[in-house]
A = this chain, B = another copy of it.
Amino acid sequence: MENIISSYIETHKDRFINELFELLRIPSVSADPNYSNDVFKTAEAVKEKLISAGADNVEVCATAGFPIVYGEKIINPKLPTVLVYGHYDVQPADPIELWHSGPFEPVIIDGKIYARGACDDKGQVFMHVKAFEFMMRTNNLPCNIKFMIEGEEEVGSDNLGIFVKQNKEKLAADIILISDTGIIANDIPSITVGLRGLSYVEVEVTGPNRDLHSGLYGGAVANPINILCEMIAKMKDDKNSICIPGFYDDVEILSAEERAEMAKAPFSLEEYKKSLDLSDIHGEEGFSTNERNSIRPALDVNGIWGGYTGEGAKTVIASKAYAKISMRLVPNQNSEKITQLFKNYFESIAPDSVTVKVTPHHGGGPVVTPSNSIAYKAASKAMEKTFGKKPVPVRSGGSIPIVAMFKSELGLDSVLMGFGLDSDSIHSPNEHYGVFNYFKGIETIPYFYKYYAEGCKG
């Protein structure tokens, strides 16, 4: 297969880029109702791409929200089946003024594709579509394949859970393959074997029933912004441990050996700080940077707003202040339980001079995937083949909440073979995806199928 895949990519590389650009031009922002039509339009575009790549029974499956695109190629029911999961929706593009080029006008600069969704996850999904096309057109598909590409990953995948529950037979498979993660570096391949869970809430603090003049009332009534800040400050102690009672109760404690093993992964703290322009790092006392963002939970304010935020000065005490707060969870924390603990704590620390409201957004459980399975070994061997180096197993700080759901609902493990880089600025302005990574993914995926099918044969 070696020569064939390389020459196939070389022959079709311009088309592979152009077809991805078509998807990237549709602003499928699932969080913002203004883009609702575009999200539906993207589902139709994904459907067309799957059909032209050679998939059968392709359909845009309606849900209560955005649809799920399904397609399959069953070459022999007796062969193993790989279920490919990905998402075609993207994060909002704002702050839009920080983009150097239009978030939905993809361009290649210095070997990188710049666009919202270039890496997360349209670019990574489309590697699978093009690898599938290659296997179909060159007779190299060694097992069955199913695609399930959703449009609500960035807003909590609520309807995917319902879809999975209702379509267990249709989705029957042996393994789930997902490219929505990354590698350590282009010369240090890695495979994600752990993901953090997520609990995401929005909070509202109300003081007086209307905005007040800060001269006439300042000092005499609770200012909901000051109070919200004080409540957020109470979320962590001076060692940056989270203060919510019970928060750490279920946290898995790694052994000294496991931590020593983790510490072997290549990492330069100086380069990390330099790449982010940081004078100092910041986090839970007693843990390294790589531990803080993988095996330890975290609490971050993702957005805050209240009062006058325009030009100049306005002397007002706002009636309300708001924040969006997310917690990243590790095994064996439970998302619903943590959300409830947060709510209890937040309400308990609110002074009587304000009222507070906590609204859960979405969440999902943390995951650790096996690294001794046939599928993991196939992915490892495929990457070793194309990168020339055996990939490192790593635990990522990100969350793909549906991985835990796939395990509980379908009984299936997932292989998290992604090709992005931490520096790709996903969820940030100027998201990009290396042309190298895009083609390396297309090249690697067919090997996964080959080694996986061989492994299943025994």
A interface, CB within 8 angstroms of B: 30-33, 91-92, 94-95, 98, 154-156, 196, 198, 200, 202, 207-223, 225-230, 232-236, 276-284, 289-290, 292-293, 296-318, 321-324, 326, 328, 351-355, 361-362, 396-399, 422, 425-430
With A213-B427, A216-B397 as given contacts, are A300 and B228 in contact (CB-CB < 8 Å)?
Answer: no
Contact call B427/A296, Cβ cutoff below 8 A: no
Q: How far, in angstroms, from A32 to B301 measured CA to CA in the complex?
A: 29
Contact call A198/B221, Cβ cutoff below 8 A: no
The residue on B at minimum CB distance from A201 is B313
Contact call A307/B308, Cβ cutoff below 8 A: no
Contact call B302/A317, Cβ cutoff below 8 A: yes
Contact call A429/B397, Cβ cutoff below 8 A: no
Known A-B contacts: A92-B308, A303-B308. Give 16 more (CB < 8 A).
A92-B314, A154-B313, A210-B428, A212-B428, A214-B328, A218-B293, A219-B297, A220-B282, A220-B397, A221-B282, A221-B283, A223-B300, A225-B302, A225-B303, A230-B233, A282-B354
Contact call B324/A302, Cβ cutoff below 8 A: no
* Of listed A292, A302, A430, residue having the most chain B CB within 10 A: A302
Chain B residues contacting A297 (CB-CB under 8 Å) are 219
Chain B residues contacting A202 (CB-CB under 8 Å) are 313
With A301-B223, A398-B215 as given contacts, are A310 and B278 in contact (CB-CB < 8 Å)?
Answer: no
The 10 closest A-B pairs by CB, nearest first: A219-B298, A215-B398, A31-B312, A233-B233, A303-B307, A222-B282, A282-B353, A218-B298, A280-B352, A209-B277
With A198-B315, A316-B428 as given contacts, are A226 and B307 in contact (CB-CB < 8 Å)?
Answer: no
Contact call B353/A200, Cβ cutoff below 8 A: no
Chain B residues contacting A212 (CB-CB under 8 Å) are 276, 427-428
The residue on B at minimum CB distance from A234 is B233
Copies of this protein chain in the complex:
2
Contact call A353/B230, Cβ cutoff below 8 A: no
With A208-B276, A397-B218, A427-B213 as given contacts, are A200 and B31 in contact (CB-CB < 8 Å)?
Answer: no
Chain B residues contacting A209 (CB-CB under 8 Å) are 276-278
Chain B residues contacting A94 (CB-CB under 8 Å) are 308, 310
With A352-B280, A428-B212 as given contacts, are A233 and B222 in contact (CB-CB < 8 Å)?
Answer: no
With A94-B310, A279-B352, A280-B352 as given contacts, are A397 and B302 in contact (CB-CB < 8 Å)?
Answer: no
With A233-B233, A302-B316 as given contacts, are A31 and B215 in contact (CB-CB < 8 Å)?
Answer: no
Chain B residues contacting A213 (CB-CB under 8 Å) are 398, 426-428
Partner of A300, one of B236, B317, B353: B317
Contact call B429/A301, Cβ cutoff below 8 A: no
Q: How far, in angstroms, from A33 to B218 measured CA to CA in the complex?
A: 27
Contact call B31/A314, Cβ cutoff below 8 A: yes
With A208-B277, A209-B277, A222-B282 as given contacts, are A396 and B216 in contact (CB-CB < 8 Å)?
Answer: yes
Contact call A276/B221, Cβ cutoff below 8 A: yes
Q: How far, in angstroms, from A374 to B427 measured CA to CA in the complex?
A: 67
Q: How far, in angstroms, from A422 to B210 measured CA to CA in the complex?
A: 12
> A228 → chain B, closest Cβ, in Å?
7
Contact call B216/A313, Cβ cutoff below 8 A: no
Contact call A398/B216, Cβ cutoff below 8 A: yes
Contact call B305/A305, Cβ cutoff below 8 A: yes
Chain B residues contacting A398 (CB-CB under 8 Å) are 213, 215-216
Contact call B397/A353, Cβ cutoff below 8 A: no
Q: How far, in angstroms, from A215 to B199 measured CA to CA in the complex?
A: 11
Q: How far, in angstroms, from A325 to B290 measured CA to CA in the complex?
A: 36
Chain B residues contacting A353 (CB-CB under 8 Å) are 278-282
Chain B residues contacting A299 (CB-CB under 8 Å) are 218, 226
Q: How far, in angstroms, from A396 to B220 measured CA to CA in the complex?
A: 12
Chain B residues contacting A422 (CB-CB under 8 Å) are 216
Contact call B92/A300, Cβ cutoff below 8 A: no
Chain B residues contacting A233 (CB-CB under 8 Å) are 229-230, 232-234
The residue on B at minimum CB distance from A298 is B219
Contact call A313/B355, Cβ cutoff below 8 A: no
> A308 → chain B, closest Cβ, in Å?
4
